[in-house]
Amino acid sequence: MQKSLILFFLLLFTLRVSAEDGYRLWLRYDRITDESVRSGYVDRFATFRMGTGVDSSSATLRAAIDELRTGLAGMLGTNLAPARGAQKSGSGELTFARVPADQIGAEGYRITDTDGGLRLSASDDAGFLYGVFHLLRMVQMGESLEGISIEEQPEKAVRILNHWDNLDGTVERGYAGFSIFNWHTLPEIIDQRYTDYARACASVGINGSVVTNVNANALIFREDYLDKAAALADVFRPYGIKLYLTARFSSPMELGGLDTADPLDPAVMAWWKEKVDEIYTRIPDFGGFVVKANSEGQPGPREYGRSHAEGANMLADALAPHDGIVMWRAFVYNSDPDADRAMQAYEEFVPLDGTFRDNVMVQVKNGPIDFQPREPFSPLFGATPKTPLLLELQITKEYLGQGTHLVGLAPMFTETLEADTYQQGKGTTVASTVRGLAGVANIGTDRNWTGHPFNQADWYAFGRLAWDPAMSAEAIYAEWAALTYDGEPEVAQTIVDMLIESREICVNYMTPLGLAHQMATGHHYGPGPWVSNLGRPEWNPAYYNRADSNGIGFDRTESGSNALAQYAPQVQAMFADPKTCPPKYLLWFHHLPWDWEMQNGEILWDELCRRYQEGVEGTEWLAARWQSLEGKVDPERHQQVTQYLEVQQREAKWWRDASIAYFRSLSGLPLPEGVPEPEHDLAYYKGLSYPYAPGIQPQW
Ligand code: BDP
């Protein structure tokens, strides 16, 4: 009896440890089951050797070797051992070779087949680390190493995650639990998660982490908090990741007791200089600051009649002797009811071009408003030739279902990166105008890091695109799916199709035809196109849709706000005429009558309703695709994703029905064929309230 109980618990335990809980992300390193494939790799990875000039005792090299040995032990069941004696060809040896920086630049690497062995060449430690992750990825994906000659160099120098994490452990717009950074127990308690986080980031080339919220807290600069930050930096360092902090502009007052934070005040400058010096004594490779100033209630230089450049430059001067940088956010707008919010960042920052210090970068959100399911690219890209810019993307899904909807963001990221600004002539893509990419992280304490299992794919995609913005969304997701799920190629292909299609599906059920910011108050979660009572005009969905009995849409042409004039003439030409403007941006740039005839011959009202319906049908398609994988992927994640898809289907209907109910109350037109009557009346949708939806911010 006792024996069988023990056996029962043993079995339970085995089941538990082998269950796919998603913690390992895409670094699963499970045993390769195809024996011929496995033995091919075994022959390749018998030993490793450090060439001259490679410091195998450096923390980064040790991390790289550890990762390689762990990965190969898992996948091949072998123990990669250091080589002894002279090098023999054909012996399955992996050689680390240091080369001069003029051969392979910073963080780059080359992998070549050397007659049965492999050579990994790099000019710095980070290059070796990235090369190791590349090799591991190839083995994970079962790719042949025969005759390979691969050379990789990151396209962008700044590849950074922005955590909107607060010191109390909450995450602004976080939907996967609490912050992974436990400020209370740092610096002594070093959670294994910190290392695993760094490994995951490094595996996709992320080389920076801003660990605090842009809505910043001056407390981070207190000595004890700096010690905590330093402990995190120590964990990140071997993985090539620099730590950055957000700087609250009023810190000299709140923490330093000064009576001003005026950037031109000598005492303020001295305070920052001293604080920065103090940070560098603890974190010698500290990356620098991210600053949200004079935006949504955050303090900034404008309070003292100083410009954003004067504010940024003061901090930049304090950081410059240490090679630190300032990432100054362009996310600013005021509450002038007559202004078009979409124009304000450009108006504020273009005149400042050329006045920033060399170590300042201006961080610009992908669209001119705020991380909507779809926006055209921000007109700032390419418009400040003397000021380096960073592209800020939101990986956390604040406006795309808040973490419960399956929406692959890579198609949205690539849409922006590939967009042609025409600022320096044809081919001036957004990607070509930026120095790096910043991604607002979607990571939290949930066991699988991101809540919805598919949200991991966005973290992965962000890193890969920061490394190489020319990668296609399909190629990235093909990697992620193959690394994250086992099974026949059909499994990965289905997952890729779902991720690729899902973004347009979401746009359709939330904000079709160029609508934006239609989310309800506070939670940014469900629909609220009728909302018009918020304190600031540009927080109201009605401000954005401008719908009335005559029509819908925001006129940003010459007859309206003329935001269009902020773009290059070629871009203006694409969007200026509603007859030729791509439908996906139609209502972003144009206010049109309900019976406007679309390019496909439909009237606008019918087309709008159909798009909502298509979005809902898209969620049903997603669920059916996933259903087809039952029994083909692990049951744990299959069930989890199935449940999330149920939420998404229900909420897509809510979006469709609430939006149609409201807009019909204005258009007075009948529903086109194939679009069902909303389940409830408008009053019902208006009455819904979700005070405890995650990520609610009391201030907006
Ligand atoms: C908005 C979020 C808010 C952020 C802000 C920002 O709602 O929580 O603080 O962006 O980027 O989208 O600063």
| C-alpha 353 – ligand 1 centre gap (Å) | 24
- Summarised one tens digit per residue, pLDDT across range 413-471 is 999 999 999 999 999 999 999 999 999 999 999 999 999 999 999 999 999 999 999 99
pLDDT band at 537 (very low <50, low <70, confident <90, very high): confident
Q: Which of 323, 106, 111, 290 is nearest to 205 (CA)?
A: 106
| Residue 301 near residue 310, CB atoms below 8 Å | yes
227 vs 190: CA distance, rounded Å: 13
CB atoms within 10 A of CB 381: 25
C-beta 370 within 6 A of ligand 1? yes
**Domain interval for residue 125:** 41-152
Q: What is the position in ligand 1's atom list of the atom closest to the CA of 697?
A: 8
Residue 460 lies in a domain: yes
pLDDT on residue 249: 98
C-beta 371 within 6 A of ligand 1? yes
Residue 576 lies in a domain: no
pLDDT on residue 536: 83
C-beta 446 within 6 A of ligand 1? no
Please give the backbone phi and psi of residue 467, each rounded to the nearest 5 degrees, phi first. Answer: -70, -45
Together in a domain, 165 and 180: yes
C-beta 214 within 6 A of ligand 1? yes
C-beta 504 within 6 A of ligand 1? no
| C-alpha 507 – ligand 1 centre gap (Å) | 20
Residue 184 DSSP one-character state: T
Give bridge partners of residue 244 from the DSSP assignment. Answer: 210, 288
| C-alpha 618 – ligand 1 centre gap (Å) | 29
C-beta 292 within 6 A of ligand 1? yes
Q: Which residue's entry shows tokens 């955590």?
A: 163
Q: What is the position in ligand 1's atom list of the atom closest to the CA of 215?
A: 9
C-beta 521 within 6 A of ligand 1? no
| Residue 273 near residue 251, CB atoms below 8 Å | no
**Residue 673: helix, strand or coil by DSSP?**
coil
- Summarised one tens digit per residue, pLDDT across range 541-599 is 999 999 999 999 999 999 999 999 999 999 999 999 999 999 999 999 999 999 999 99
Is the pLDDT reported for residue 269 higher than 50?
A: yes
Together in a domain, 254 and 194: yes
Together in a domain, 309 and 457: yes
Together in a domain, 451 and 533: no
pLDDT on residue 271: 98
pLDDT on residue 534: 85
C-beta 657 within 6 A of ligand 1? no
CA atoms within 13 A on the CB side of 238: 21
Structure tokens at 632: 């083909």
- Summarised one tens digit per residue, pLDDT across range 41-71 is 999 999 999 998 999 899 999 999 999 999 9
| Cα distance from N-terminal residue to C-terminal residue, the chain | 61
- Summarised one tens digit per residue, pLDDT across range 473-516 is 999 999 999 999 998 899 999 999 999 999 999 999 999 999 99
494 vs 623: CA distance, rounded Å: 11
pLDDT on residue 422: 98
Find out whether the peptide bond into 187 is cis, omega within 30 degrees of 0: yes
pTM of this prediction?
0.96
Which of 248, 331, 363 maximizes ligand 1 atoms within 8 Å of its Cβ, making it the mutation to test the pocket? 331
Q: Given 103, 118, 152, which residue is the final one in a domain?
A: 152
C-beta 173 within 6 A of ligand 1? yes
Q: Which of 247, 397, 403 is nearest to 327 (CA)?
A: 247
Average pLDDT of span 195-206:
99
Together in a domain, 117 and 168: no
Active site members:
296, 370, 398
Q: Which residue's entry shows tokens 């070549």?
A: 112
| C-alpha 695 – ligand 1 centre gap (Å) | 11
* Measured CA distances, 700 to 94, 520, 539, 688 (Å): 55, 11, 8, 18
Together in a domain, 148 and 282: no
pLDDT on residue 697: 57
pLDDT on residue 17: 44
Is the pLDDT reported for residue 699 higher than 50?
A: no
Together in a domain, 144 and 276: no
| C-alpha 230 – ligand 1 centre gap (Å) | 27
Q: What is the position in ligand 1's atom list of the atom closest to the CA of 292?
A: 13
Residue 268 DSSP one-character state: H
Residue 265 lies in a domain: yes
Together in a domain, 425 and 304: yes
398: domain CATH number is 3.20.20.80
102 vs 51: CA distance, rounded Å: 18
99: domain CATH number is 3.30.379.10
| C-alpha 668 – ligand 1 centre gap (Å) | 35
| Residue 397 near residue 442, CB atoms below 8 Å | yes
Average pLDDT of span 8-17:
45
Give the number of domains in the chain.
3
**Residue 434: helix, strand or coil by DSSP?**
strand
Residue with CA nearest ligand 1 atom 13: 214
Which of 166, 173, 371, 392 maximizes ligand 1 atoms within 8 Å of its Cβ, making it the mutation to test the pocket? 173
Q: Which of 659, 572, 594 is nearest to 376 (CA)?
A: 572
| C-alpha 371 – ligand 1 centre gap (Å) | 9
pLDDT band at 539 (very low <50, low <70, confident <90, very high): confident
pLDDT on residue 693: 81
Average pLDDT of span 247-262:
98
